[in-house]
Amino acid sequence: MVALVLAAALLFPQGGGDASLAADRTTLQVGDSITLTVTVRAPEVGPIDIDEPQFAGFDVVERRDRSQVSVGTGVRTSRRDLVLRATDPGDFSMGPFRARVGGTVLLTNAVRVTVAAAARPDEMLSPRVLALLANAAPVGSDSGPRVEVAVLRSSDSVRMGDQIDLLVTAWFPRDTRTRLRAPPSLLPPDIRGAWGYSQPTPAAVVATREIGGRAYDLFVRHEVVFPLTPGDLEVGPAKVTYSLPISGSFLSREVRHEEQSAPFLIRVAPNAGTGIDRVVVGRDLTIDLTLNTTVLALGDAAHLTISLTGWGNVALWPEPHLEWPVGLQVFQERSSVTVSATDGILGGTKRFEYLVVADSSGMHRLPATTYEYFDLDRDTFVTVAANPVVIETPETARRAAPLRAAPPLLADTWILQVPSTLQTIAPWFWIVIFAVPPLLAGVARVRVRRARTSDSQTRVAAQPSALARLEDELRRVLEQLVPGADGGSERRLADALVAAGIEPVLASHTSRVRERLRQARYGPDVQSDTGELSAEVAAVVSGLQGHRRGNARVPV
């Protein structure tokens, strides 16, 4: 006991203890969080009470208290972590905090914090979304405030391949929104027969309305879709999920809630002169052809890239038809898509890359590459073309073959000594030579019989690797036709293939074969007939490649 008192006297000469304040950062933006840690160390003479100052410009999100006592020194250390969310910009002084230890009052230091103004959430939204929000407001109800979910659309009737903006809105009553510990989750509606792109939206409140004396806060989610076929496009219900605590305690259990919107239809009109399989639709498309070199030696390769740039559904623009000259071997490498938006209008660039190898000398002329599409602004078909390219392969420009020295001649002394050596071998040696192999063959036959079971298991174990090769081959062909669609559902893959110009029967068969291949590889049944499945995959791949080559240029 005396030792503990002496240790406490050495640590705290004045007998009261000490207190300090620390922050995990001192600069932040409105909406960001900061953690303050108050540490009080004092002799173990009683409880430690911490008084908090007012936090102007901040909301208290969480408090955590913890305490420990050192057995060797008898010192009690109490810590309080405060998580605060900045609500107003400016310079603030956090602290000092006041701590009471018995009859002693301790003061912490103060921490200066700078809060910068954050960008307004509505500044992140495109003009098309702001136009939808201009007249948006909750309906309100006399029965009491409730969360309302709706889907706003840019138009009730569009043409096939044109852009539709869908905005999922979730209106939260103010008293309900302030109880949220995490932002709500907004799920887009289920849409079939359209290609969709999710757009970035802020997770914070983007607008506020007052209806019937009640304040409502708005959360949104933005989706852009392109209809693939004419007719009625069914837009399913959108959902919002959120959790509310049962009580005001930070340890209170949360209850999950879910609301959803009503479904509706959008009329999709066909474009003039287009068939149902014609989806090369856009605005202001341009085509560009680039080659890293125009002079190739025999056997050398060049990289050729064709870029399609414009506005519309970039992912489903098909590959242009190219007339390759004799004397060049061409290998398609990959295709890539870059999507961008300007003032809410989606567009971008789709690139097709090829490896070109010269296998004969001369002047190889690649004619002007043309691309035909339906322009929505002009309401007619438009053809764009890239400049022709000439690749020169001079007769003297050959790849230099590495020179190798001829191997040395074999010495002939050992060959001359072979006959005399054979004459010195004893007769029993020849008996061993002709008798031992049959015995070894019999032993091997027995081992083969014993190994049949393990060999069968080995073939079964090797089946997944064969299925993996089949799946990789099918994925490669699908990625060239519809990039990104391979990861979707069976129905979505079939729709995307039809939109890319594939016959509906072949598209449906392709999606079914892909599902069978996945079930064979990842399902519980590993005894699938790999030979039959391989034949079906080969037939599908051949059909897709042949159809793509035959329909690279879609007829008017």
Taking only the tens place, the pLDDT of each residue in 331-368 is: 888 888 999 888 889 999 999 999 999 888 888 888 88
Beta bridge partners of 337: 350
Between residues 7 and 494, which one has the greater pLDDT? 494
Instruction: Kindly tell me the burial class for residue 81, based on how many C-beta atoms sit within 10 Å of its own C-beta (0-12, 13-18, 19 or more).
Output: middle
Q: Among 185, 194, 17, which residue's Cα sits nearest to residue 99?
A: 17
Q: In this model, does residue 239 exceed pLDDT 90?
A: yes
Q: How many CB atoms lie within 10 A of CB 47?
A: 10
Say what the pTM is.
0.53
Q: How confident is the model at residue 458 (pLDDT cuts 50, 70, 90)?
A: very low
Taking only the tens place, the pLDDT of each residue in 50-64 is: 888 888 889 888 888
Q: How confident is the model at residue 480 (pLDDT cuts 50, 70, 90)?
A: confident
Mean pLDDT lowest for which of 164-168, 199-203, 325-329, 523-527? Answer: 523-527
> How far does Cα 417 stand from its chain's mean position?
73
Task: Please compute, for residue 447, the number of CA atoms within 13 A of its CA located in the half-sphere on the CB side.
Answer: 6
Taking only the tens place, the pLDDT of each residue in 209-234 is: 888 788 899 999 999 999 988 899 99
Taking only the tens place, the pLDDT of each residue in 391-449 is: 888 876 455 444 455 566 555 555 556 556 666 666 667 677 777 787 788 777 777 77
Task: Work out the angle between the directed axes of helices 452-481 and 490-499 (0-180°, nearest 10).
Answer: 50
**Mean pLDDT highest for which of 117-131, 227-241, 315-329, 435-449?**
227-241
Q: In this model, does residue 2 exceed pLDDT 60?
A: no
Q: How far apart are CA 277 and CA 230, in angstroms?
A: 10
Strands laid side by side in the 111-116 sheet:
27-29, 111-116, 90-94
**Which amino acid, one-letter code, is at 555?**
P
Name the strand (E) or helix (H) holding 279. none
Unique residue bearing structure tokens 């002169």: 273
Q: And the tokens for 555?
A: 């007829």
The answer to whether 312 and 282 are in contact (CB under 8 A) is yes
**Which amino acid, one-letter code, is at 133?**
L
- Would you list the DSSP string of 65-109? EEEEE-TTT-EEEEEEEEEEEE-S-EEEEE---EEEETTEEEE--
**Which amino acid, one-letter code, is at 80?**
R
What per-residue confidence (pLDDT) applies to 274? 54
Unique residue bearing structure tokens 């061409």: 330
Task: Please compute, for residue 89, the number of CA atoms within 13 A of its CA located in the half-sphere on the CB side.
Answer: 6
Q: How confident is the model at residue 457 (pLDDT cuts 50, 70, 90)?
A: very low
Strand-pair category, 214-227 with 164-173: antiparallel
Q: Among 124, 151, 126, which residue's Cα sits nearest to residue 136?
A: 151
> How far does Cα 155 stand from its chain's mean position?
29
What separation in angstroms does the CA of 203 have from each of 165, 184, 312, 415?
Answer: 19, 8, 27, 87
Q: Among 355, 354, 358, which residue's Cα sits nearest to residue 394?
A: 358
Residues 6+ apart with CB under 8 A from 191: 225, 233, 234, 235, 236
Q: How far apart are CA 467 and CA 460, in angstroms?
A: 11
pLDDT above 90 as % of the chain: 25
Residues 6+ apart with CB under 8 A from 306: 287, 288, 289, 320, 322, 351, 352, 354, 369, 386
Q: How far apart are CA 453 and CA 180, in angstroms?
A: 62
